[in-house]
């Protein structure tokens, strides 16, 4: 009886170790990413979302959207949005190529609209602490 119990314990430990090795972690996230923009619109704007393409995602044509705390950016000002943690265990972003960054903005009190895609950054790789921009919106 003792031999069966020890054999089952070893099997359970081996199973837990193997599961632990394959369990995804938050390492898939790209943490503390800052998006920066310069407001050339001719009026103060409020920003509430950022949209981009992830060239390494299963569907590279998809535009991913991140909500950001509403940030007011005055005329001619360069504004850095609060750091964002992009992706998740199921939607990794770390070391992925992010491009065609857009900002959803509005004139204070007006309707929301998307800026035109900002082109391709010279280095698209998402790493922890990365800043994208400053991109001009006009």
**pLDDT digits 0-9 by tens, 11-59:** 444 433 343 333 344 568 999 999 999 999 999 999 999 999 999 988 8
Averaged pLDDT for residues 83-95? 88
Cβ–Cβ under 8 Å, residues 138 and 107: no
Q: How far apart are CA 138 and CA 116, in angstroms?
A: 9
Which value, to the nearest 10 degrees, does the dihedral of the CA atoms of residues 65, 133, 48, 57 take? 10
Q: What is the pLDDT of residues 62-80, one digit of tens each?
A: 999 999 988 999 999 999 9
Record the tokens describing residue 73, joined without a space.
């950016």
Enter the pTM of the model: 0.76
Question: Domains of the chain, with CATH numbers?
Answer: 26-137 (2.60.40)
Q: Which residue has the tokens 């509403």?
A: 70
């Amino acid at each position: 009886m003792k031999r069966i119990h020890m054999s089952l314990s070893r099997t359970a430990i081996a199973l837990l170790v193997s599961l632990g090795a394959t369990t995804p972690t938050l390492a898939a996230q790209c943490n503390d990413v800052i998006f920066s923009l310069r407001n050339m619109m001719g009026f103060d704007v409020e920003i509430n979302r950022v949209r981009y393409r992830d060239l390494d995602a299963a569907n590279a044509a998809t535009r991913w959207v991140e909500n950001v705390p509403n940030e007011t950016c005055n005329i001619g000002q360069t504004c850095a949005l609060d750091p964002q943690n992009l992706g998740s265990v199921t939607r990794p972003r770390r070391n992925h190529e992010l491009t065609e960054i857009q900002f959803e903005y509005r004139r204070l009190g007006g309707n929301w609209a998307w800026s035109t895609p900002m082109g391709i950054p010279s280095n698209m790789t998402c790493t922890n602490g990365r800043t994208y921009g400053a991109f001009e919106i006009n």
